[in-house]
Structure 1
Amino acid sequence: MMSIGFTEILLILVVILLLFGAKRIPELAKALGRASNEYKKAKEVFQKESEDLMETVEKRAETETKVNQE
């Protein structure tokens, strides 16, 4: 498996600097940070909703099992 070394990272940073310019890099970093936070929040909401759904399904299954046993 290939790993990225210091030289490759430095080259990527230089290309980014050339493409976007020094003034736009802080703006891009802020936007990337905001996007990362939104992703984390959406992930947490999705996990919570899926856990709630699983609890509902399990409770329903237990109820149906009890009804069928009687």
Structure 2
Amino acid sequence: MFAGLQGWQLVIIIALVLLLFAAPKLPAMARNLGQSMRIFKSEVKQMKDEDKTQRGGAADADPVEGRIVDEDVRDRDARGTGSHRSDLP
């Protein structure tokens, strides 16, 4: 069907079809696209500003030391998974 057409030729044909059949709707589509881009841009700016304020507050705080806590022997024994009562300290 499109054996003799190259990629750029198909793009031109699609653009012409859009111009012919969607011409009345193009201004509204362009307006909506511009409005969407403005909203997107303002949201990205707002996210960056929020990120800067959050990082600024977190950078002033002291770092928190994390450690891995083993399961308590009493908890295992209460569930019945401990081997003996002599395991208790």
TM-score by length of 1: 0.64
Give the distance between the partners of 2:38 and 2:24, measured in 1 at CA. Answer: 23
Identical amino acids, percent of aligned pairs? 21
Aligned residues: 57
- Structure with the greater alpha carbon radius of gyration: 2
1:9, distance to aligned residue in structure 2 (A): 4.9
Query: Structure 1 stretches (4+) deviating beyond 6 angstroms?
Result: none
1:48, distance to aligned residue in structure 2 (A): 0.2
Partner of 2:73: none
1:60, distance to aligned residue in structure 2 (A): 1.2
Match of 1:61, SS?
coil
1:49, distance to aligned residue in structure 2 (A): 0.1
Equivalent residue runs for 1:48-63 within 5 Å: 48-61=49-62
1:8, distance to aligned residue in structure 2 (A): 5.8
Partner of 2:85: none
Partner of 1:14: 16
The one-letter amino acid of 1:13's match is A
Give the distance between the partners of 1:30 and 1:54, measured in 2 at CA. Answer: 36
For structure 2, list consecutive stretches of 5 or more residues without a partner in the other structure.
1-6, 64-89
Give the distance between the partners of 1:38 and 1:55, measured in 2 at CA. Answer: 26
Match of 2:61, SS?
helix
- Given the superposition, is the C-alpha separation of residues 8 and 33 from structure 1 closer, same or farther in structure 2, using an over 3 Å criterion? farther
Normalized per residue, which structure has more helix?
Answer: 1
Partner of 2:42: 41
What RMSD over aligned residues (CA atoms) do the two structures have, in Å?
Answer: 2.2
